[in-house]
Amino acid sequence: MKLDRVLDFAKLLLERAVQQGDITVDGTMGNGHDTVFLAQLVGETGHVYSFDIQEQAIHTTANKLETEHLQKRCTLVHDGHEQLDTYITGEHAGKITGAIYNLGYLPGGDKSIITQADTTIASLEKLFDMMAPEGIIVLVIYHGHPGGEAERDALMHYVQNLSQQKAHVLKYDFINQVHSPPFLIAIEKR
């Protein structure tokens, strides 16, 4: 057999956590791959809230969704994920079953614009309260770029100290590779 690569494992977890009609979050929209994936999982009756601070990400993702006829299922927010409670309100808050954050910089974009530990953690704290029981938050942690190590270390400290009464936290990591490959953290709300 072949072990699931990190991004494949992220998808597998989300496929298992998210049903048609569910509410989901893409915390880092980027080029829209995860937003499209989540939009397919939630079906016509579900919804994806997707966040990015870069205009370029919104344009690229909007175009992808239009091509796939998925735009009605998605709200693309041009704002930081740390503001997510401003955008996800009412009956959708508390009903989120799946979320993904692909951290780091926008592939093909400005490599100096990266996710930062303080805003990522602020976002996770708000999101955790809005998750449904057994909902899953997947973090794909890239740490090979300048600034990546600091975010990794702060995030690891944060997730390792989440109360085990509130969450199960998993690390999925290929441990014999060179060049700082990304690894995955999954947080299951109990």
- Does 113 contact ligand SAM by CB under 6 A? yes
Annotate each residue in 48-67 with x if it binds ligand SAM (CB under 6 A) or - if it does not, as one string. ---xxxx--x----------
Alpha carbons within 13 angstroms on the beta-carbon side of residue 100 total 27
What is the CB neighbour count within 10 angstroms for residue 41?
Answer: 21
Would you say 86 or 168 has its CB closer to ligand SAM?
A: 86
Could you give the string, one character per residue 115-154, with x where binding to ligand SAM holds by CB under 6 A and - elsewhere?
x---x-----------------------------------
Dihedral, 134, 167, 147, 60 alpha carbons, nearest 10? 10
87, 78 Cβ separation under 8 angstroms = no
CA distances from 141 to 12, 76, 103, 128, 165 (A): 17, 22, 6, 18, 24
Q: Which stretch binds ligand SAM (CB under 6 A): 14-22, 31-39, 90-98, 174-182?
A: 31-39
* Secondary structure element (H or E) that encloses residue 160, with its range: helix 148-160
Nearer to ligand SAM, 99 or 187 (CB): 99
Q: Which stretch binds ligand SAM (CB under 6 A): 98-106, 149-157, 162-170, 181-189?
A: 98-106
Q: Which residues bind ligand SAM (CB under 6 A)?
A: 28, 30-34, 51-54, 57, 80-82, 102, 104, 106, 113, 115, 119
